[in-house]
Amino acid sequence: MVRLPDPSSGPSPTIFNAVVASSRRHTLAEGPFWVAETSTILWVDIEEGRVFEGRLDGDRVKESRELEFDSRVGVAVPGADGSVLVATADRLVVVSRDGERREGPSIPLSGVQSRCNDGACDSAGRFLVGTIALDDREGGESLYRVEKDGSLTTIDSDLTISNGLGWSPDGRLFYSTDSAAGIVWVRDYDAETGAIGSRREHLRFVGENPDGLCVDTRGYLWVAIWGSAEVRSFTPSGELAAIVRVPCPQPSSVAFVGDDRDVLLITTARRDLSESEQVQYPDAGRLFLAHVEAAGTPRFAWSGSWQGAPRGEK
């Protein structure tokens, strides 16, 4: 069932406020991920080509590790073996705990101006990643699933900005976003067999751009709305339930973090803001935290079942 997210209709949503949680101002922070095994947080700065690791220290996030790449970085997820799987602009790269980098599959971009964007792992440890157009093309981008042997399954091929991905608490529903179209899609999903159902509209945002998302234990979606200075939460049936106010206009993604996964971490950006807007919003690009009276579902690590060749080898 599709609901139009209209804060002016229905019961009033609960309002929460996010607070600054980091010192660094990123150009385009994205892809937060709580790594339960190490009590750490992964996130990226897409434009700077950097992957960050940090730890919660009260209501602050303290950086503890940084990886640099020579291209944009779409997203990074932990590997089950302690590595980090990174989607660079056009290829997957595995970084071991000791820093060795091994190349994985390239992502087919058909020679056009595109790059990898947001990604996530299903409960079987398969990595899903989408692409984004870097020019004015519409409808030619894809969402892929990387199978156990490193081959790619195309899930969608008609997107413009493939973005936030998530699963219902039982793993049987898969949510995916096309930011440019303003749609969060939903479809049936079976991680054990790999079967994927036909997509259908779950949420449509008129004149707005949904970005990254996550899911809580009730099955509520938490969606960062780029350009709105808000994160919004929706019930499984699509009703607006809560709004998190963020003191900068470009929230980009969300994740529940902490040992109880009960704190919402919000990444933001300062890219595309004018000089006067950056003065108006001095915290744009920082990380934020919000206590939203909810807990997130577990996020899954990449299975690490295929191994790329060391960088430079054929």
Q: Tell me the backbone φ, ψ of residue 225, rounded to 5 degrees.
A: -105, 105
Please check the confidence at residue 313 and state whether its pLDDT lies above 50. Answer: no
Instruction: Compute the distance between CA of residue 212 and CA of residue 246 in angstroms, rounded to an integer.
Output: 15
pLDDT tens, position by position, 73-95: 999 999 999 999 999 999 999 99
Residues constituting the chain: 314
Contact criterion met (CB below 8 Å) for 69 and 50: yes
pTM over 0.75: yes
Q: How many Cα neighbours within 13 Å face the side chain of 280?
A: 7
Domain regions of the chain by residue span:
14-303
* Band of residue 63 on the pLDDT scale cut at 50, 70, 90: very high
**Range 56-68 average pLDDT:** 96
Query: Domain 14-303 carries which CATH code?
Result: 2.120.10.30
Instruction: From the candidates 122, 211, 216, 283, give the one annotated as an active-site residue.
Output: 211
pLDDT for 308:
54
Pairing of strands 127-133, 141-146: antiparallel
With cut-offs at 50, 70 and 90, classify the pLDDT of residue 1. Answer: very low
With bands split at pLDDT 50, 70 and 90, how would you rate the model's confidence at 162?
A: very high
In degrees, to the nearest 5, what angle opens at C-alpha 153 toward C-alphas 190 and 121? 55
Average pLDDT over residues 146-169: 95
The stretch 222-240 carries a mean pLDDT of 98
Name, in order, each residue with C-beta under 8 angstroms of 210's C-beta and a sequence gap of 6 or more.
163, 164, 177, 179, 182, 183, 184, 203, 223, 224, 225, 226
Q: What are phi and psi of 279, to 5 degrees?
A: -70, -40
Q: Specify the pLDDT at position 148.
A: 86
pLDDT band at residue 10 using 50, 70 and 90 as cut-offs? low
Residue 168 CB neighbours (<10 A): 16
Structure tokens at 91: 């290829």
Q: Identify the three-state secondary structure at position 276.
A: helix
pLDDT for the residue numbered 137: 87
Q: Kindly tell me if the per-residue pLDDT of 314 is higher than 70.
A: no
Percent of the chain exceeding pLDDT 70 equals 94
Residue 211 among the catalytic residues = yes
